[in-house]
Structure 1
Amino acid sequence: MNTLRRYAVPGGWTAALVVGLVIPFLVSDYDLLDLSRVLTLAMAVAGLNLLLGHSGQISVGHGAVFGLGGYAALVVVTKNGWPWVPAVLLAGVLCLVFGLLLGALALKMGGANLGLLTIAVAAVFPLVVIRLKSTTGGTFGLSLAHPGIEPPAWTGLTGAQFGFVVSLLALAATLLLLRNLVTGAGGRALAAVRTSPLLAAANGVNVNRVKLMAFAVSSAVAGVGGALYALVVAIAVPDSYQIALSITLLAASVVGGTRTWAGAIVGAAMVVYLPTAAENVVSGETSGNWAQLVYACCLILSLTVAPTGLVGGLTRLLGRIAPTTDSPSAPAPLPAEKEVR
């Protein structure tokens, strides 16, 4: 890695965090709600990036895991009066356990059963939520009279401002955690499993443990994001967690870039703002169908023109334009560190 790139990347993330902390004082609460949705959805997409880009697994059920975290948080807040912090932590732990159980079942069955199981989970989740009416509110879901992330009085912030700051810091902590997870020895193990499970096993890597760890962490991250999302928007209904959400999150991961953390934010922004853009062009009930069509077109275009995603393709382009300053004898980066932005 050349010297410029080594300092530019952390500098860029630091600048982005500083700008993010200033944004609540520059935009309206309405806009902050959408931005908070982007940040929380980016956590789920980042979890998918860990699976797709770093462990070679696929999940078409992260929308259900996202919803499980959201419902878990709202249930304990609305029915048990829990504060939002332990509610979010509970959602993360619950989704971690769920990921361990689902991943272990898929590994026991072998083959590509993880993807098939997650499809089944995504399809069944809304039905289960509706059946558990006494706990989840059935088709009407659960709601709060105001955003569930309330600011302390000493902050002087509105609910929307504080929710945005919490979501921003949670996303920053998540990306830092995932970045550290895919570097060093853990990153080499993930890269080996992604490249060739057989070769990884021959070199002493416990393939099943690495895959299970990646899926469990990915689920926990998505659960925390789902909990924060539900608390920010103050509602959770079954229709919000249909299988279409899982497919949309998967498309967001691929379009943004499965090997880039910045790509998770780009993909999440697409999820939030693309339907609004479609409504501005085509009004009425068909706007949702047009949004899905644009998702599909973006996915096809990304796979054709930028297989590494929008951010990954941009990184490659900048890498070709900017001359490297490394000496010829400098060691090459680890496989797990390439394109991780």
Structure 2
Amino acid sequence: MSTLRRRFAVPAAWTIALVVGVIIPFVVSDFDLLDLTRVLTLAMAVAGLNLLLGHSGQLSVGHGAIFGLGGYAAIIPVATHGWPWWAGVLVAGALCLVFGLLLGLVALKMGGANLGLLTIAVAAIFPLLLIRLEPITGGTFGIYLAGSPIEAPAWTGLTTAQFGFLVSLVVLALTVLVLRNLVTGRLGRALSAVRTSPLLAAANGVDVNRTKLIAFAVSSVAAGIGGAFYALVIAIAVPDSYLVTFSITLLAASVVGGSRTWAGAIVGAAIVVYLPTLAEGIVGAQAAGNWSQLVYAAGLIITLAIARSGLVGGFTTLVRRATRTAGHIPAVTNPH
């Protein structure tokens, strides 16, 4: 496939995906839309991880906690003060930006590869803090809403599930667009240099610490907004939803889906949502959780061993090779 054709193929594919996404709420039930909306919200967090892991070479095992922070930051003012849902999302994005900056600064002060260790600690402590801060967070029982506050205006004629899906779809599209523009611009070149070799990047005038901090902060905002929509869509936020295993699951989704592709974020998020349901149908509800974790681990190992670019990256590579091979097949001439 020529460079020109590839240049137009990617936007065309995303346009088709967006059109299909707009049609989906009108052809599936509201029950199924809930799971599909969860995929979109989780994809925002995984896309943020892709920026961090795939484009800057940093490892975070705490994005589940940041996702949860966004969820609580959005649902608390809505539940206790009657704020509109969009105000809760803005608060979540701002709080996660500040948290990402502070956490990134601490990691840089610690030096080395301590971001991964620091985020593991954050992921472990976060559910405990939620339980301890019971007057604010509801403790073990969390915070419940009577229904999703993301309600459709009467003039749209949409159900709450349809409106929630479409809003999440638009926000995911904007998230991917912003992240894509970041990695294709000047910051993207700096991120690529840092991922390849921090020492070489610094020698070429790249502010390595500043670049890493920006990547982590932006990634945190994406995860926080995703968490905000997740909590508001399912109308609940509980500490058990944001355990360390959830952070590891998000990391596995990034790697398995493809940490250097934005489509990989959607594929990874779909695996997170639908794998437990599939496991429940095979081994039963009681063992489904353990089997899901086992499959995540196995998928992670297999992906790293066979398709290091993830499912989407591996598929794209196969398509390019097949197209290139087809283009080099000589034409058969008629001897007569």
> TM-score range, shorter-chain basis?
over 0.9
Residue of structure 2 equivalent to 1:330: none
Residue of structure 2 equivalent to 1:271: 272
TM-score if structure 1 supplies the norm length?
Answer: 0.94
Supply the AA of the counterpart residue of 1:57. Answer: Q
Residue of structure 2 equivalent to 1:173: 174
Tell me how far apart the structure 2 counterparts of residues 245 and 109 of structure 1 sit (CA, whole Å). Answer: 25
Tell me how far apart the structure 1 counterparts of residues 216 and 66 of structure 2 sit (CA, whole Å). Answer: 11
Tell me how far apart the structure 2 counterparts of residues 185 and 224 of structure 1 sit (CA, whole Å). Answer: 25
Tell me how far apart the structure 1 counterparts of residues 185 and 69 of structure 2 sit (CA, whole Å). Answer: 32
Shift, 1:124, TM fit:
0.3
Residue of structure 1 equivalent to 2:145: 144
Tell me how far apart the structure 2 counterparts of residues 283 and 161 of structure 1 sit (CA, whole Å). Answer: 30
Supply the AA of the counterpart residue of 1:281. Answer: I
Residue of structure 2 equivalent to 1:92: 93
Tell me how far apart the structure 1 counterparts of residues 185 and 301 of structure 2 sit (CA, whole Å). Answer: 33
User: Structure 1 residue 258 and structure 2 residue 259: aligned?
Assistant: yes
Residue of structure 1 equivalent to 2:124: 123
**Where do 1:233-252 residues align within 5 Å?**
233-252=234-253
Tell me how far apart the structure 1 counterparts of residues 166 and 199 of structure 2 sit (CA, whole Å). Answer: 44
Residue of structure 2 equivalent to 1:41: 42
Give aligned-pair identity as a percent: 73
TM-score if structure 2 supplies the norm length?
Answer: 0.95
Tell me how far apart the structure 2 counterparts of residues 159 and 230 of structure 1 sit (CA, whole Å). Answer: 15
Residue of structure 2 equivalent to 1:114: 115
Q: Secondary structure at the match of 2:206?
A: coil
Residue of structure 2 equivalent to 1:82: 83
Q: Secondary structure at the match of 2:285?
A: coil
Residue of structure 2 equivalent to 1:24: 25
Tell me how far apart the structure 2 counterparts of residues 301 and 116 of structure 1 sit (CA, whole Å). Answer: 24
Tell me how far apart the structure 1 counterparts of residues 322 and 282 of structure 2 sit (CA, whole Å). Answer: 36
Q: How well do the aligned residues superpose, as a CA RMSD in angstroms?
A: 1.3
Tell me how far apart the structure 2 counterparts of residues 101 and 267 of structure 1 sit (CA, whole Å). Answer: 28
Q: Which portions of structure 1, spanning 4 or more consecutive aligned residues, are displaced by more than 6 angstroms?
A: none
Q: Secondary structure at the match of 1:322?
A: helix
Tell me how far apart the structure 2 counterparts of residues 39 and 284 of structure 1 sit (CA, whole Å). Answer: 24
Q: Secondary structure at the match of 2:324?
A: coil
Residue of structure 2 equivalent to 1:227: 228
Residue of structure 1 equivalent to 2:159: 158
Tell me how far apart the structure 1 counterparts of residues 258 and 307 of structure 2 sit (CA, whole Å). Answer: 9
Supply the AA of the counterpart residue of 1:222. Answer: A
Shift, 1:323, TM fit:
2.8
Shift, 1:148, TM fit:
1.9
Bigger mean CA offset, 282-291 vs 7-16: 282-291
Residue of structure 1 equivalent to 2:324: 323
1:72-121, CA deviations, whole angstroms, 9 ceiling, x for partnerless residues? Answer: 00101011111011110110010010000000000011011110110000
Supply the AA of the counterpart residue of 2:258. Answer: G
Shift, 1:196, TM fit:
0.5
Tell me how far apart the structure 2 counterparts of residues 297 and 102 of structure 1 sit (CA, whole Å). Answer: 30
Supply the AA of the counterpart residue of 1:249. Answer: L
Residue of structure 2 equivalent to 1:331: none
Tell me how far apart the structure 1 counterparts of residues 42 and 12 of structure 2 sit (CA, whole Å). Answer: 24
Q: Secondary structure at the match of 1:100?
A: helix
Shift, 1:194, TM fit:
0.4
Q: Secondary structure at the match of 1:182?
A: helix
Shift, 1:186, TM fit:
1.3
User: Structure 1 residue 57 and structure 2 residue 58: aligned?
Assistant: yes
Aligned residue pairs total: 326
Tell me how far apart the structure 2 counterparts of residues 16 and 106 of structure 1 sit (CA, whole Å). Answer: 38
Tell me how far apart the structure 2 counterparts of residues 76 and 150 of structure 1 sit (CA, whole Å). Answer: 16
Tell me how far apart the structure 2 counterparts of residues 270 and 315 of structure 1 sit (CA, whole Å). Answer: 19
Shift, 1:192, TM fit:
0.3
1:124-161, CA deviations, whole angstroms, 9 ceiling, x for partnerless residues? Answer: 00000001101110000001101121111111111100
Work out which of the two has the higher radius of gyration on C-alpha atoms and give 1 or 2: 2
Residue of structure 1 equivalent to 2:297: 296
Supply the AA of the counterpart residue of 2:61. Answer: V
Tell me how far apart the structure 1 counterparts of residues 249 and 164 of structure 2 sit (CA, whole Å). Answer: 24
